Amino acid sequence: MNTPSPAESTPSPTAAAATTLPVIRLKSDRNPGHPWVWSAQLYKPEARLPPGTVVEVHDAKGRFVGRGFWNGHARIALRLLSNNEAEAIDAQWIAKRIDSAVQLRRELLQIDHVSDAWRVVHSEGDGLSGLIVDRYADILVIEYFAAGMWRFREAIHAALLTHFPGARLYWFAESHVQKQESFDCRSGDVPEAVQVHEHELRFHAAPGSGHKTGFFADQRDNRRRFAELARGKRVLDLCCNAGGFAVHAMAAGALTATGVDLDAGILEIARANAAANNVTVNFDQADIFDWVRAAVARGEQFDAVILDPAKLTRDRSKVFEALKKYFAMNRMALDAIAPGGILLTCSCTGLVSEADFLEMLRRVALNAGREIQILDVRGAGADHPFRTDVPEGRYLKAVFCKVL
């Protein structure tokens, strides 16, 4: 379902002999050490190449480095995909990479046993730079970040359907990505909402609804761990989104749970999620700073607090500003936590490093005059693998703390 019509698509790339590929030459004779190569690191080709062209990459001495996608218009001018000289970047290569990604999750990780909502392809983490695929029951959500991957869309869709026969496909690219990468992604039909399952609980997922999916599978394991720690406790879920942490906590035996978010639409989904699991959660629409200040003024405190805000920046120049916001939110959260209480504080801002996030927490504790014990530092679930040479793939930080 939802395969592009011939009139809507450009011809998919086909296998090309190494000698026929355009050559991009690096300015250095050293391996870049990262699959993303910036324009300042290479010589631009004399002939104009369409965005997403498959190219061969040589170093300054003319030695083979690899093959990848070229895009002279993008911030990432070159995305290296393979360093195997005998390997062509074609539809068969795409299919093999997707096969490997699905096999990892189904056979090694056995994620199907705990959920039918999981990441199928995690971009560079699965060797497919510029492509993310998420599964929500019988819906596959395909997000394109690179013109090269968009040119291979027919091969990608076909490969996915071999592993998920009859799945509904929904594909998209955010407008700023299309502008940066110079491609026009026409999204497929928006599928109807679907119910997904996670650790025997039920949640709502609605790709293309304007609220992402209403469900973030990357926090799967962190939701369950927080719920274990929250048994018998009063829970506060700040930036609660669709209420996943609060619902898990109540299902595991929390005493009470309150979720706070500014988005009225997502709170309707959160209330439906609580009802679907026969748990009671109080969801309030409010700015979290205003809500916590009012609660503290009333003398309210909580035994377990989750703080999971949305991504704060995509711009490296604004990381310091993002850290200031994290400081303010976490400092505020401490006022609502009873002595000996649990704090799970998260950042999905990939540009904020784990070290910087922990340093922010150190300063928060100092400012508040309280001690923060770090119990565990986690990331996204194992279906979000990251490569050693792409630390950006480990975007999620989830820090479990005890606040004294």
- Please state the rounded mean pLDDT for residues 258-270: 94
Total domain count for the chain? 3
Residue that finishes a domain, picked among 181, 216, 234 = 181
Does residue 97 carry a pLDDT above 50? Answer: yes
Predicted local distance difference test score (pLDDT) of residue 212: 66
- The CA-based dihedral angle spanning residues 300, 305, 310, 311, taken in that order and rounded to the nearest 10 degrees: 120
Does residue 114 sit in the same domain as residue 262?
A: no
CATH number, residue 63 = 2.30.130.10
pLDDT in tens, 347-378: 999 899 999 999 999 999 999 999 999 999 99
For residue 211, name the pLDDT band (cuts at 50, 70, 90): low
* Within-domain flag for 229: yes
* Within-domain flag for 318: yes
DSSP 34: S
CATH number, residue 251 = 3.40.50.150
Count of beta carbons in the 10 Å neighbourhood of residue 203: 29
Mean per-residue pLDDT of the chain: 92
| CB 203 within 8 Å of CB 225 | no
Residue 63 buriedness (CB in 10 A; 0-12 / 13-18 / 19+): exposed
Q: Which has the minimum average pLDDT: 13-27, 219-233, 282-296, 310-324?
A: 13-27
Does residue 140 sit in the same domain as residue 198?
A: no
CATH number, residue 107 = 3.30.750.80
Does residue 115 sit in the same domain as residue 56?
A: no
- In which domain, by residue range, is 160 found? 91-181
Does residue 296 sit in the same domain as residue 367?
A: yes
Looking at per-residue pLDDT, the higher value among 400 and 265 belongs to 400
Predicted local distance difference test score (pLDDT) of residue 187: 80
Predicted local distance difference test score (pLDDT) of residue 392: 84
Predicted local distance difference test score (pLDDT) of residue 30: 87
- Please state the rounded mean pLDDT for residues 56-73: 94
Does residue 205 sit in the same domain as residue 342?
A: yes
Predicted local distance difference test score (pLDDT) of residue 214: 72
pTM of the model: 0.89
Cα dist from 53 to 77, 94, 222, 342, whole Å: 11, 15, 40, 50
| CB 323 within 8 Å of CB 356 | yes
Does residue 157 sit in the same domain as residue 298?
A: no
Residue that finishes a domain, picked among 52, 82, 112 = 82
Alpha carbons 228 and 110: distance in angstroms, whole number: 22
- Please state the rounded mean pLDDT for residues 189-200: 91
For residue 190, name the pLDDT band (cuts at 50, 70, 90): confident
